[in-house]
Amino acid sequence: NAGVMQNPRHLVRRRGQEARLRCSPMKGHSHVYWYRQLPEEGLKFMVYLQKENIIDESGMPKERFSAEFPKEGPSILRIQQVVRGDSAAYFCASSPMMGEQFFGPGTRLTVL
């Protein structure tokens, strides 16, 4: 049973471009969470999704950021028109209902 997979592991974008981060949860997990870790800061919750539903997006910036978890395929965190302040490590986690969260290796986004 493969763990949570994230790709790409490293992503470089220029200001104004779009960034797409992918997360494949562990097999059998229907809950996905995205977290952001800014340089020298702690991990902050962004969004919680179940299949085809956003349950809680209270931690996600209102503009430029969106997330989805379609019926088929990975969860996608999309950042439009990236700015330097978006440079961070983005972690995805998955869990079965009310279970332990398992984290992916993260995607490190660098905005030039």
Partner 1 sequence: KQEVTQIPAALSVPEGENLVLNCSFTDSAIYNLQWFRQDPGKGLTSLLLIQSSQREQTSGRLNASLDKSSGRSTLYIAASQPGDSATYLCAVPSGGYQKVTFGTGTKLQVIP
**Footprint of partner 1 on this chain (CB under 8 A)?**
31, 33, 35, 42-45, 48, 55-56, 91, 93, 95, 98, 100-106, 108
3-state secondary structure of 4: coil
- Minimum Å gap between C-beta 34 and partner 1 is 11
Q: Is 43 or 76 the residue whose CB approaches partner 1 more closely?
A: 43
The three-class DSSP label of residue 13 is strand
Give Cβ neighbours of residue 38 (< 8 Å, ≥ 6 apart).
Answer: 44, 88
- Between 48 and 65, CB nearer to partner 1: 48
Q: How far is the CB of 39 from partner 1 (least distance, A)?
A: 11
We find the least distance from the C-beta atom of residue 96 to partner 1, in angstroms, to be 10
CB 81 within 8 A of CB 64: yes
Which one, 58 or 72, has the nearer CB to partner 1?
Answer: 58
Q: Sign (positive/negative) of CA torsion 57, 69, 5, 26? A: positive
Report which of 112, 102, 94 is spatially closest to residue 33, judged by C-alpha positions. 94
Supply the minimum distance, in Å, between the C-beta of residue 44 and partner 1. Answer: 7
- Residue number with CB closer to partner 1 (64 or 108): 108
